[in-house]
């Protein structure tokens, strides 16, 4: 009996970081391909080592006479669409449909995965089927076990696949071999398409170290893909046994599971930094030295991080010739009446000069009636947080020149925060 479609091997424990999907190859089985003795390693070993993942094995009828012919309903390529549809049906909820996916394919199962991702990428690009297109965008990595990706100068890709067919079918089949030879171009085009869509996708290519009775089936050159995000390795087993592990001490399991776990953990949501407890700054008394310094630090943290824009520098001429310059240098008051009249004419109390300084900056360094000017400007809603082009605020200046005004401006800011 052929097991078809997706079967869940482990539901995982919340939170689920990713879905891991296993795909067998020619004449394989959703369970037997990954099983030796009584141990199905994705269910019995990997699920214990990776509890925050849902593990799925996908089966299809791979008992085909014609492996790659597109006109055949049993074509290995035809199964790619079924893979997309079956996995999409297991990803219904909002959380599931956006969950990362890691595929694991043995032998020609890797070809099915590649074709599925190529088709999913096209659907995503064309908006043809967003649900199936999302499979590609959610795929965060693929692990290939003995998958033939290319041929070489000495042996074509179709010949590599022919070796897999001989191993799976137990005897040469002339019809299969003829079709593989004819479809060599199709396999090469698929390889090129997958190379394009996977340039930013982490890939792992593992090859067999030991021969079968008919030799090495997929040589290292064929089993590996070039790419910046490609990792490679080997399994000390033949082509059929390289995907079967009985214990966690098996070096093949350690290598394979290590790559899978690494890919899944890379999808783990980054923990958001713990928010610093927000103090009740209204309880701080600026008149007390320790509280004053604490309040000043919170004031500095509240300021924007981006540099001050110099767009206001065009106001330089208007400022230089305005009455504010006279007011700044004038030795006599009363400043509050003068300022009231100035503002009544629609002038801005937060105008900048060519150095980005506001009237409040200037008032803090004036020689005449400094406190009266500062208090008058604050009463007129001067902004104590405005930075000049040297990133200094009026509060910073007050800290340097006048402790009393420093306390006054800190208290002003403290009240403004309470009002928000």
Contacts for 114 with CB less than 8 Å, ≥ 6 apart: 142, 147, 190, 191, 194
Q: Which residues of 121-134 are buried (b: 16+ CB within 10 A; e: fewer)?
A: bbbbeeeebeebbb
Is it the case that residue 415 has pLDDT exceeding 70? yes
What is the residue whose two structure tokens read 């399994």? Answer: 235
What is the residue whose two structure tokens read 């394009």? Answer: 196
User: How much is the pLDDT for 27?
Assistant: 77
In the structure, how many helices (H) and strands (E) does the chain have? Answer: 19, 9
Q: Where are the domains of the chain?
A: 5-267, 303-419
Would you state the structure tokens that stand for residue 310, as one six-digit string? 């110099």
H/E stretch holding 271 reads none
5-267 is classed CATH 3.40.50.1820: yes
User: How much is the pLDDT for 334?
Assistant: 58
Is it the case that residue 170 has pLDDT exceeding 70? no
Decide if 405 contacts 375 (C-beta within 8 A): no
Return d(Cα 389, Cα 310) in angstroms, integer: 7
Query: What mean pLDDT is reported for the chain?
Result: 83
Task: Count CB atoms within 10 A of the CB of residue 233.
Answer: 15
pLDDT one-digit tens code per residue, 272-305: 666 555 556 777 787 888 888 889 998 998 888 7
- Using CA atoms, how far residue 112 sits from 85, 159, 203, 350, in Å, is 13, 18, 15, 67
3-state secondary structure of 106: strand
User: How much is the pLDDT for 130?
Assistant: 92
Return d(Cα 63, Cα 75) in angstroms, integer: 10
Q: For the full predicted model, state whether its pTM sits above 0.75.
A: no
* Closest C-alpha among 335, 336, 308, 324 to residue 396: 308
User: Is the backbone peptide bond immediately before 334 cis, with ω within 30 degrees of 0?
Assistant: yes
Q: What is 303-419's CATH number?
A: 1.25.40.20
User: How much is the pLDDT for 284?
Assistant: 77
Across the beta sheet with 230-235, what order do the strands follow?
5-10, 53-59, 18-23, 101-106, 139-145, 203-208, 230-235
Q: Which residues of 383-406 are buried (b: 16+ CB within 10 A; e: fewer)?
A: bbebbbbeebbbbbbbbeebeebb
Mean predicted confidence (pLDDT) in 374-388: 90
Decide if 258 contacts 251 (C-beta within 8 A): no
Return d(Cα 329, Cα 127) in angstroms, integer: 68
User: How much is the pLDDT for 362?
Assistant: 86
Return d(Cα 311, Cα 40) in angstroms, integer: 67
User: How much is the pLDDT for 380?
Assistant: 84
Instruction: Tell how far CA 76 is from the center of its chain.
Output: 32
Is it the case that residue 237 has pLDDT exceeding 50? yes
Is it the case that residue 367 has pLDDT exceeding 70? yes
Is it the case that residue 348 has pLDDT exceeding 90? no
CA atoms within 13 A on the CB side of 243: 27
Q: Which residues of 42-79 are buried (b: 16+ CB within 10 A; e: fewer)?
A: bbbbbbeebeebbbbbbbbebebebbbbeeeeebbbbb
């Amino acid at each position: 009996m052929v097991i078809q479609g997706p079967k869940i091997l482990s539901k995982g424990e919340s939170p689920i970081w990713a879905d891991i999907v296993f795909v067998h190859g020619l004449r394989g089985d959703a369970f037997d391909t990954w099983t030796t003795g009584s141990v199905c390693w994705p269910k019995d070993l990997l699920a214990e080592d990776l509890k925050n993942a849902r593990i799925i094995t996908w089966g299809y009828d791979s008992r085909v006479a014609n492996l790659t012919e597109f006109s055949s309903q049993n074509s290995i390529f035809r199964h790619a669409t079924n893979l997309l549809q079956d996995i999409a049906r297991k990803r219904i909820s909002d959380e599931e449909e956006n969950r990362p996916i890691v595929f694991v394919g043995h032998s020609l199962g890797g070809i099915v995965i590649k074709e599925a991702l190529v088709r999913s990428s096209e659907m995503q690009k064309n908006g043809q089927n967003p649900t199936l297109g999302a499979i590609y965008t959610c795929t965060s990595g693929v692990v290939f076990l003995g998958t033939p990706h290319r041929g070489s100068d000495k042996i074509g890709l179709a010949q590599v696949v022919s070796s897999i067919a001989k191993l799976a079918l137990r005897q040469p089949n002339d019809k299969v071999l003829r079709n593989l030879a004819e479809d060599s171009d199709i396999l090469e085009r698929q390889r090129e398409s997958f190379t394009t869509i996977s340039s930013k996708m982490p890939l792992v290519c593992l090859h067999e170290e030991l021969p079968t009775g008919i030799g090495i089936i997929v040589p290292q050159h064929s089993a590996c893909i070039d790419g910046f995000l490609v990792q490679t390795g080997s399994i000390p087993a033949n082509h059929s046994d390289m995907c079967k592990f009985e214990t966690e001490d098996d070096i093949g399991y350690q290598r394979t599971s290590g790559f899978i776990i690494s890919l899944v953990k890379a999808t783990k949501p980054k923990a958001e930094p713990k928010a610093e407890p927000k103090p009740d700054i209204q309880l701080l008394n600026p008149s007390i030295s320790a509280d004053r310094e604490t309040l000043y630090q919170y004031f500095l943290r509240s300021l924007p991080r981006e540099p001050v824009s110099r767009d206001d520098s065009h106001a330089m001429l208007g400022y230089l010739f305005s009455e504010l310059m006279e007011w700044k240098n004038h030795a006599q008051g009363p400043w509050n009446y003068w300022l009231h009249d100035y503002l009544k004419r629609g002038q801005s109390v937060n105008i900048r000069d060519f150095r980005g300084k506001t009237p409040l900056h200037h008032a803090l360094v004036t020689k005449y009636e400094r406190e009266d000017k500062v208090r008058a400007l604050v009463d007129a809603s001067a902004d104590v947080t405005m930075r000049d082009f040297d990133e200094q605020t009026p509060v910073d200046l007050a800290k340097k020149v006048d402790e009393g005004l420093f306390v006054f401006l800190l208290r002003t800011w403290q009240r403004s925060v309470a009002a928000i």
